[in-house]
Amino acid sequence: MTPILLIIPLAFAILTLLLPRHWVRAIIIPGLVLQVGAAVLLCMEIYQHGPQDYALGDWQAPLGISLIADGFSVTLLALTALIAALCAIYAQYFLTRYPREQRYFWPLFWFLLAALNGIWLAGDLFNLYVGLELLGLSAVGMVALTAEKTTLKAALDYLYAALFGSLAYLAGVALLYGAYGTLSIAQLSDMAAANPTTQVALALMTVGLLLKTAIFPLHYWLPPAHGGALAPVSALLSALVVKASFYILALLWLDVGALAVTVTAAQAMGALGAGAIFWGSWQAFQTRQIKMLVAYSTVAQLGYLMLLFPLAIGVSEAAAQLAWQGTILHLLAHAFAKAAMFLAVGTLVLALGHGRINDFGGVSQRNPVALFAFGLSAVSLMGLPPSGGFNAKWLLLQSAIASGQWHWFVVMIIGGLLTAAYVFRVFRVSFLQSAKHEIQDTHPALQLSALALALMAIALGFVSELPLSLMNLTDIAPATMGGTP
């Protein structure tokens, strides 16, 4: 079952590259249905039979490529399939204005999906590297789609960041392989000890991944890239792509290198997170362009993810558990909410013909659904109930209390208020009675796909138990080793 999730997107990537234009449109929906269906089936399988370890071609580690489907990875697979499907539906209508871009969007879209799925399933550090490279390249390609001067510049910066990040990561991988002779995550987590080699390797990989995740102060490339890309691209990048490198970072610190990391280093990671929250929010508060606001909001929200490290390293098991749960929920909630927000904003910009926040008057009358989607996703981002974002914040707060780390508690409370400060800028203006200029109608599918994602962010507040119980399935039962497809 597991490799199908790689085969489907790769097959569709090649199909969309080769087939003539009108065929490409026709296979979008079947492809999405297949992808979502396969992800859901795998989820159910894991839920019933426990995690699986699949060795490609039956070669076992350390030689072969192993795919590991545990509760964490299938949740992310399902998330990816779901968000990608809604973004694709949106893109189908959105891209009718961009015939040339459309040609390249779909192959890149499927490559991106294949790379993401590959990262979620990878069982060793080298596969993660391959996934990262493929992800970086397809993401850069998507940013560069419109080929305007500004987006090309942004894409180029992004490319350099991605390449340098991968390079640093690869150097770390090489060091680890030299020291331990294996790259399997499961084996390394038993072997990697707190020696200088491991620590240098981890440091290199961490820097690379921080750059790729756009963690403050290495976030410089993200706002122009995410803010300048086409709306469905921005949604995919902010919701999923940056999460992939964070996922690897979390694996490295809490699994592979769990024995080698120190509490001080974890606190330093948290400090970066706090910096991201404050700096990103402040920039979002300052900017005049709505898409930049949403992009800076991503910078800020990624900061919360970084709090995982101080909250989960060197504390009691109960506190670490809460931190994990909170981080996972935050990752999911932010993915839904941010995708929804970018799609909603894309619709509003399309309707108005510009993205200047201060001239947003009148959209509440003419484009209520998109604005409502923006509002719902903002509720989750601010961490107000009922929403996935609130549940995540609650768990993280409880974790901070349980480990007595009051400084992170304060950071999170203030972070919520800062988020409110910048999102309410948009509402404030949207309630202005008079429209300054013509507002066009937009296709209902654009508004509704944004709304669907926003509703998912809210609904996550009521079904948080589901991903959290899936997450607990991490131990691979020996009976399923080398499992069947």
Mask 76-115, x = binds another protein (CB under 8 A)?
----------------------------------------
Are 305 and 277 spatial neighbours (Cβ–Cβ below 8 Å)?
A: no
What's the min distance (Å) between Cβ of 464 and another protein? 6
60: helix, strand or coil: coil
Are 252 and 266 spatial neighbours (Cβ–Cβ below 8 Å)?
A: no
What's the min distance (Å) between Cβ of 152 and another protein? 39
Q: Is residue 413 involved in binding another protein (CB under 8 A)?
A: yes
Site for another protein in 382-401 (CB under 8 A): 384-386, 390-391, 394-395, 397-398, 401
Mask 423-442, x = binds another protein (CB under 8 A)?
-x--xx--xxxx--------
d(CA 294, CA 300) in angstroms, rounded, equals 10
d(CA 246, CA 330) in angstroms, rounded, equals 12
Residue type, 468: L
Binder of another protein out of 79, 116, 379, 456 (CB under 8 A): 379
- Non-local CB neighbours of 362 within 8 Å, separated by 6+ positions: 430, 432, 433, 434, 435, 436, 439
The piece of 176-184, 265-273, 300-308, 413-421 that touches another protein (CB under 8 A) is 413-421
Q: Is residue 464 involved in binding another protein (CB under 8 A)?
A: yes
In order of 53, 71, 88, 200, 308, the CA distances from 75 in angstroms are 16, 6, 20, 31, 18
Q: Is residue 416 involved in binding another protein (CB under 8 A)?
A: yes
Mask 12-51, x = binds another protein (CB under 8 A)?
----------------------------------------
Structure tokens at 438: 């013509």
Among 51, 49, 117, 108, CA closest to 82? 117
Q: Is residue 468 involved in binding another protein (CB under 8 A)?
A: yes
Q: Is residue 462 involved in binding another protein (CB under 8 A)?
A: yes
200 burial (CB, 10 Å; 0-12 / 13-18 / 19+) is middle
What's the min distance (Å) between Cβ of 457 and another protein? 14
Structure tokens at 268: 């330093």
Q: Which is nearer to another protein, 230 or 322 (CB)?
A: 322
What's the min distance (Å) between Cβ of 421 and another protein? 9
d(CA 153, CA 136) in angstroms, rounded, equals 16
What's the min distance (Å) between Cβ of 318 and another protein? 10
- The secondary structure of 353-366, three-state, reads CCCEHHHCCCHHHH
What's the min distance (Å) between Cβ of 372 and another protein? 7
What's the min distance (Å) between Cβ of 194 and another protein? 32
Q: Which is nearer to another protein, 165 or 416 (CB)?
A: 416
Q: Is residue 417 involved in binding another protein (CB under 8 A)?
A: yes
d(CA 126, CA 394) in angstroms, rounded, equals 36
Binder of another protein out of 48, 196, 465, 484 (CB under 8 A): 465
The piece of 123-131, 141-149, 177-185, 365-373 that touches another protein (CB under 8 A) is 365-373
- The secondary structure of 371-411, three-state, reads HHHHHHHHHHHHCCCCCHHHHHHHHHHHHHHHCCCHHHHHH
Are 154 and 165 spatial neighbours (Cβ–Cβ below 8 Å)?
A: no
Q: Which is nearer to another protein, 181 or 385 (CB)?
A: 385
Q: Which is nearer to another protein, 212 or 330 (CB)?
A: 330
d(CA 138, CA 299) in angstroms, rounded, equals 21
Residues making contact with another protein (CB under 8 A): 325, 364-365, 368, 372, 379, 384-386, 390-391, 394-395, 397-398, 401-402, 409, 413, 416-417, 420, 424, 427-428, 431-434, 461-462, 464-465, 468
